[in-house]
Structure 1
Amino acid sequence: MSKLFEEDKPIYIQIREKIEDQIINKQLKEGHQAPSTNQLVNFYKINHVTVSKGVNQLVDEGILYKKRGIGMFVAEGARELLIQKRKESFIEDYVLKLIQEANKLDISENEIIGYIKKIKGSDTI
């Protein structure tokens, strides 16, 4: 497998996330054309079906839309939709677990905030 991909996550999800990241980072702007499935297949050297699965999920969610015979485009409002989705996922995947573990260890809210400020202000990130 290419070193561009993690082994513990399906490639189609990673393709999807790469496109999402480009939209969030404004590398792909709303209303502009996104890379075609063929371009992604050639760039990443992976199966067409794999790429299509990730791209089609973005189409199904209204992040991308197809213009027949022209290509794939980033939908208006896609960036905000992705940011909101990622924030919800961040809360579920990280904040909730952080709070649960802090409660087990009897770490106060102020201590948690102090740790976050200390780490965020350091050179470790």
Structure 2
Amino acid sequence: MGIVATKSFSFALEIIELYKFLSEAKKEYVLSKQVLRSGTAVGALIREAEHAQSKADFLHKMNIALKEANETEYWLTLLKESNYIGTDHYQPLMASCKSILRLLISIVHTTKTSLNR
């Protein structure tokens, strides 16, 4: 789980920078708090999963992390389409988000498969 934990931590730092930009430069406080909450929750949930009590608990936490990553993708797209952020902010964040989503989907699928054996 090292790669997904590392990527999600770096992503959280990027999201914090986005939040600072949105709140300071754009004076946007509602959407920015939403993306801050969901974008930083991904890594926190992955960190929680590292010490899960069981495989089922691990799967549950990773599923929630997946949902948070998916929600973050939504907020990033909304910020882009509403012109709060430009392509320069959007593209690297979305690339990171999609990379984390792919990893989480794979982890969830593999864990479900191993639990069903």
- Tell me the TM-score normalized by structure 1: 0.25
Of structures 1 and 2, the one with the larger relative CO (CA 8 A, separation 6+) is 2
Rg comparison, structure with higher value: 1
Higher strand share: 1
TM-score by length of 2: 0.27
Which is richer in helix? Answer: 2
